[in-house]
Structure 1
Amino acid sequence: MERDGEKTRKFDGVDQRFAVATHAMCVLAVRGQAVSSAQFISENISVSAIIIKRVMRPIVLAGYVEAVVGAVGGYRLIRDPEEINLWQLLEAIQGSGPFSKRFGMPQSNCDEGRAIDRVVYDLYSSLDAMIEERLRAVSLASILQSAMSLLPPPE
């Protein structure tokens, strides 16, 4: 990305798997108790079935989705969409907030460096706390409801 002739780095603190997971979970929520194959989900959100399988693994382990094996296998939501919030998905996918995973400055040999390290750590912690609070307030059901309100009325 370039701004005023200066190269800048885009903030990439939230893993792209989180966006894929959120979208995939919404697909499952719309489908109710129906089993959806990785291929079906991938075609709906324009990513490969392999990515869907990789993204769904930690969500299955977290207990939000059931993996059904066999010829007609796939994934099925096992919790109500109202009970699943975006923080839970982020935790399942990344294990922590976007800032805490970025912290890790080299050990400083001076008092000023250690003080700066502490200030940055506290800042990152407070940012993650704000993100957690906001994401906990957003359920899959509320995402679907908001998305439906953006669709044009049926003819």
Structure 2
Amino acid sequence: MGLSSRSAVAIHALTMLARWGERTLTSAEIADSLASNPVLVRRILGSLRDAGLVWATEGRGGGWSLARPAREITLYDAYRAVEAGPILSRHPHEPSSQCEVGRNIQALLEVEFQDAERAMEERLGRTTIAHLVQRTLDIERELALPTR
């Protein structure tokens, strides 16, 4: 599996839900912020729900909310909820055993790819959704300051 935008969409949705706290948001409201389709957002939210990160209430006034405090949800939690398989694609088929590169490249790449994936997981695990909300608010405050 290669790279996709599912993680970015999931993190965006979680950050919105955290930002508005007690208020539930509809998939259409989240989709508006993403300039995306509500159906795509509902699919992502479904995966986040299955992972225990969000929950939904139905009916009038219903919508999506965080299932845990934002400080307890990392970017890696969001990534893991919506992405399947390794980050870096492996060979789609066995390389030629008649070539010295072909015989050895998969084992060599596996070590490199696993190290890179572990580094990414560790980095995403250090940042919480609460961090992103705070950084968003900080940036907005900075932009609102009058210039001299």
- Residue 126 of structure 1: aligned partner: 115
How far apart are the structure 1 equivalents of 2:37 and 2:61?
18
- Residue 82 of structure 1: aligned partner: 71
Q: Measure how far apart 1:97 and its partner are.
A: 4.5
TM-score by length of 1: 0.82
Q: Measure how far apart 1:146 and its partner are.
A: 1.5
Contact 1:87 1:136 in 2 (8 A): yes
Shift >3 Å, 4+ stretches: none
Aligned-pair identity (%): 25
Q: Give the secondary structure class of the aligned counterpart of 2:55.
A: strand
- Residue 71 of structure 1: aligned partner: 60
Compared with structure 1, are the counterparts of its residues 109 and 87 closer, same or farther at alpha carbon in structure 2 (3 Å cutoff)? same
For structure 1, which runs of at least 5 residues remain unmatched after alignment?
Answer: 1-11
How far apart are the structure 2 equivalents of 1:106 and 1:45?
36
For structure 2, which runs of at least 5 residues remain unmatched after alignment?
Answer: none
Q: Measure how far apart 1:17 and its partner are.
A: 1.5
Given the alignment, which residue of 6, 11, 25 partners 1:36?
25
Residues 1:106 and 2:82 aligned together: no
How far apart are the structure 2 equivalents of 1:33 and 1:110?
59
TM-score by length of 2: 0.86
Deviations 1:109-137 (A, max 9, x none): 42732311100111111110110010001
Contact 1:28 1:77 in 2 (8 A): yes
RMSD, aligned CA: 2.0
- Residue 19 of structure 1: aligned partner: 8
Compared with structure 1, are the counterparts of its residues 154 and 108 closer, same or farther at alpha carbon in structure 2 (3 Å cutoff)? closer
Deviations 1:61-107 (A, max 9, x none): 000100212233221111111110011111101034422xx123422
Deviations 1:5-59 (A, max 9, x none): xxxxxxx943112111111111100111221111111122221111110111110
Compared with structure 1, are the counterparts of its residues 93 and 61 closer, same or farther at alpha carbon in structure 2 (3 Å cutoff)? same
Q: Measure how far apart 1:154 and its partner are.
A: 6.4
Given the alignment, which residue of 110, 118, 135 partners 1:146?
135
